[in-house]
Amino acid sequence: MAILVTGGAGFIGSHTCVELLNAGEDIVVMDNFYNSNSRALDGIRKITGKDFKFYEDDMLDIAAVDQIFAENDIEQVIHFAGYKCVPESVQKPLMYYSNNLRGTFNILETMKKYGCTKFVFSSSATVYGIPATVPVKEDFPLSAINPYGSTKLIIENLCREMYAADNTWTMILLRYFNPVGAHESGLIGEDPNGIPNNLMPYLTQVAVGRLPYLNIFGNDYPTPDGTCVRDYIHVVDLAVGHVKALKKLEEKPEVRVYNLGTGHGYSVLDVVHAFEKACGHEVKYQIKPRRAGDIAMCYCDPTKAKEELGWEAQYGIEEMCQDSWRWQSQNPDGYATEEK
Ligand code: UFG
């Protein structure tokens, strides 16, 4: 019996594979390397000292997905695969809907065909749209404010409707806040295609000299220092959250939803300063106009995950910055860095 991890070579996927293998689970990994690299798989093997089956496949290829289920006894699926860049989704909505939805349909249809009914989905805090208050709780109203968010919301709704129609499914929807950090080994980490869109990879690339300075998008928000506040969470904490969710999958069929965040908000400037401490030098930045679509404050109430999953974030902003820096400084060009 194995767990299928789609998108297992990606940032959150690779860290989750490590935690699953460390917990003694048997995994089968699938990835098309669209926004990931085979060296992440080498990193997982090196960190854990364990091997696993890997399929270089695209979830849009239903015959390939079918073959994975035919060749393995898949009992649970953790579904990370998908496009994830918000501004790109605004430019290319059809591409996002087509990939994220059709791919997920293929996974769910194949699960149904093979009688596999345990599903963990990578959702996002984006499903809260513009929250009226913080901290954000799981029962807050949901809305989508960009195509990427729409795909997450549609898949969440689909899971609820599939369960309503057939209550043998167990669906766990994990709403991630802002994942950062890297494995402490420095062997796996975040390596986005092109110029990073998110704060931490941009910051680390400035610190390592790949980019000249950080643009801080707005310092006139109604927050303590004027820059936006987010709930940054160490990717290893997030990965452990998936291991806990798998245990929950075994309890009884239902749909469960959890926020995975620390519950603490840090401003962009807080992160910059914590990062400067971690890397030991100043990081240049310039204040720029607000970025379209940003909200002033977003952080979660993680109580439900603590009470029901027995999960709580262990790492603080210092470790997040130290581990992000270790990864980037050891791998200035990410996975393209030449091995010494
Ligand atoms: N920021 C900068 N400069 C940058 C990049 C980001 O100042 O170069 C600021 C943003 O304006 C924002 C904060 O840093 O205030 C965080 O921005 P990120 O892009 O890192 O993260 P977001 O909160 O915008 O987005 C994240 C995920 C999305 C998810 C969204 C809502 O990346 O996938 O949270 O949950 F949809």
Q: Please tell me the pTM assigned to this model.
A: 0.98
What confidence score (pLDDT) does residue 338 get?
80
* Separation between Cα atoms, residue 306 and residue 282, nearest integer Å: 36
**CA-nearest residue, atom 18 of ligand 1:** 198
CB-defined site of ligand 1, < 6 Å: 84, 86, 124-126, 178, 197-199, 202, 214-217, 228, 230, 268, 291, 294
C-alpha distance from residue 218 to each of 205, 221, 226, 268, 273 (Å): 20, 7, 7, 10, 17
Q: Tell me: cis bond preceding 135? Omega within 30 of 0 counts.
A: yes
Atom of ligand 1 nearest to the CA of 203: 8
Place of tokens 């992000």: 324
Q: Based on the residue annotation, tell me whether 148 is a catalytic residue of this protein.
A: yes
Q: Render each residue's pLDDT in the chain as its tens digit; 340 residues.
A: 999 999 999 999 999 999 999 999 999 999 999 999 999 999 999 999 999 999 999 999 999 999 999 999 999 999 999 999 999 999 999 999 999 999 999 999 999 999 999 999 999 999 999 999 999 999 999 999 999 999 999 999 999 999 999 999 999 999 999 999 999 999 999 999 999 999 999 999 999 999 999 999 999 999 999 999 999 999 999 999 999 999 999 999 999 999 999 999 999 999 999 999 999 999 999 999 999 999 999 999 999 999 999 999 999 999 999 999 999 999 999 999 887 6
What confidence score (pLDDT) does residue 340 get?
62
Which of 55, 148, 163, 176 is an active site residue?
148
Atom of ligand 1 nearest to the CA of 85: 33
What confidence score (pLDDT) does residue 339 get?
75
Mutational pocket test of ligand 1: of 153, 206, 268, the residue with most ligand atoms within 8 Å of the beta carbon: 268
